[in-house]
Amino acid sequence: MKIITLSETEFTEFASNHKYSNYYQTVNYAKVMKKEGYDYNLLGFINSNQDLVGATMILTKKVLLNYKIAYAPYGILIDFSNYDFVEELTLELKKFLTKQKFIYFKMNPNISCSERDQKGNIISYNPEMNDILEILQKNGYVHTGFNQYFENDKPRWLAILKLTASNDKLYHHLKKQTRNKINKANRLGIEIHEGTQEDLDTLYEFIKRKKIKNIEHYKNLCNEFKDKIKIYLAKINTQKFIMQSKGLYEKELDQNEILNQKLQELSRQGKNTITIINRKMESDQNLSLYQKNLIYATKLFSKYPEGLTIGGCLVIEYQQEAHLIVEGFHKKYKNFNPNYLLKWELIKKFNQEGFHSFDLNGIVGEFKEKNKYSGLNEMKLGFNANAVEYIGEFILIINNTIYNIYKKKLGKKKN
């Protein structure tokens, strides 16, 4: 086994065709992180026949006394089920990293453990997972655990919707609550538009409160991924909001009058009016709601005649897979449900364009106990996405003495 440096072309050709390929293991992502203070290496693994049998992009950074740390996001790209191969590679990797004064090497392989439904019940299980875990641990990789929340650098749980049916069938399988919120967003005049990089400042206003990354990170993503990264915005069409509110109000007003006449007729005839009374009360409530919406829509149109953008998201397209990177919306307009309609319109779009899946990003692995992320799970899995559990993070310690010093230093910073 020999470790070599690959050219960008060599790495891209190998990585894009590997079973564990993903957009983190790309030259594009490496260059994003380069702009944010990391160095990177494109490594290839050559066997005795001079065949390229593995590769990885690793991010590196000096952290202590010229010692460095290494991280392979969603790497490395090898056959983890081959014990002899992993053993030989690990020995060479240790030699390579020791010479270059690394403290440790961290990775979170793109290996799924299981797929689960919205309630956490197992749909399928990766039969290789336990063997891979054992192989890695026997070769010195320390597993950081099967955590349920967001303890790792990258989420261990993702909500992924497979696009294997027509849009009509996909809609049919949405949770009722999800469909209701999508329909409500449509009634309130929400429209989804594809933006440009010039709209990044607008999008950032909706996501900056999450304190995940600064705007420069998203600018770097846009600059490096170019046409593979898209901005989508949710906008209230205030004129449409008025017209739809007016139409609903007038339709309900007609229905209310019909129910009122029927109620009077049944009363004169001495017949049972309970059913009609209940329907009339429901209609009265709807009428009040639609009237309020019409008044609100009129005020909103007066203030924003050209419409008002209230939310958006950033998506990376990679090998017929769409990945939701970040999303956000204006809290004041939460009841417009822009995030629901946004996802649904993207699901339809990617499905029509032949994408295989839509990754809705991180969720948590706790399905039974109520927690602060329960709403996040409910919202994303409500699109009939599966909860996909990944194997998690591994750390290979290269210099144990410096590693312990570094850990203590990190502990002091946190305190």
Task: Read off the pLDDT of residues 136-195 as tens digits, 9 standing for 90 and up.
Answer: 999 999 999 999 999 999 999 999 999 999 999 999 999 999 999 999 999 999 999 999
Segment 267-286 shows an average pLDDT of 90
Same domain, 79 and 54: yes
Same domain, 187 and 264: no
CATH code (residue 197): 3.40.630.30
In a domain, 25, yes or no: yes
Same domain, 213 and 248: no
Domain boundary residue among 263, 279, 303?
303
User: How high is the mean pLDDT of the chain?
Assistant: 95
Residues 6+ apart with CB under 8 A from 377: 118, 159, 363, 364, 367, 387
What CA–CA distances, in Å, run from 268 to 271, 276, 319?
A: 8, 14, 69
Same domain, 277 and 333: no
Same domain, 46 and 173: no
**Res. 303 pLDDT band, cuts 50 70 90:** very high
Same domain, 217 and 342: yes
Backbone angles phi, psi at 230, to 5 degrees: -130, 145
Structure confidence at residue 413 (pLDDT): 63
**Res. 415 pLDDT band, cuts 50 70 90:** very low
Q: Please spell the DSSP secondary structure of 231-278, one letter per residue.
A: EEEEEE-HHHHHHHHHHHHHHHHHHHHHHHHHHHHHHHHT---HHHHH
Query: In this model, does residue 247 exceed pLDDT 60?
Result: yes
Q: What does the alpha-carbon distance between residue 370 and residue 375 come to, in Å, rounded to a whole number? A: 9
Structure confidence at residue 412 (pLDDT): 64
For residue 200, give its domain range.
165-235+309-355
Task: Please tell me the total count of domains within the chain.
Answer: 3
Segment 71-82 shows an average pLDDT of 97
pLDDT digits (tens, 9 = 90+) for 358-410: 999 999 999 989 999 999 999 999 999 999 999 999 999 999 999 999 988 87
Same domain, 27 and 104: yes
* Both tokens assigned to 280: 């009339």
In a domain, 244, yes or no: yes
Q: Read off the amino acid at residue 131.
A: D
Q: What does the alpha-carbon distance between residue 166 and residue 180 come to, in Å, rounded to a whole number? A: 20
Percent above pLDDT 90 for the chain: 91
In a domain, 226, yes or no: yes
In a domain, 290, yes or no: yes
Structure confidence at residue 269 (pLDDT): 85
Structure confidence at residue 151 (pLDDT): 92
Q: What dihedral do alpha carbons 40, 393, 53, 44 form, nearest 10°?
A: 10
**Res. 44 pLDDT band, cuts 50 70 90:** very high
In a domain, 124, yes or no: no
Beta strands in 18-96 (DSSP E): 39-46, 52-64, 67-72
Same domain, 257 and 340: no
Same domain, 182 and 315: yes
Query: In this model, does residue 211 exceed pLDDT 80?
Result: no
Find out whether 17 and 39 touch, Cβ atoms under 8 Å: no
Query: In this model, does residue 414 exceed pLDDT 60?
Result: no
Q: What does the alpha-carbon distance between residue 160 and residue 322 come to, in Å, rounded to a whole number? A: 10
In a domain, 152, yes or no: no
In a domain, 200, yes or no: yes
Structure confidence at residue 348 (pLDDT): 98
Same domain, 225 and 320: yes
Same domain, 96 and 71: yes
In a domain, 374, yes or no: no
Same domain, 264 and 288: yes
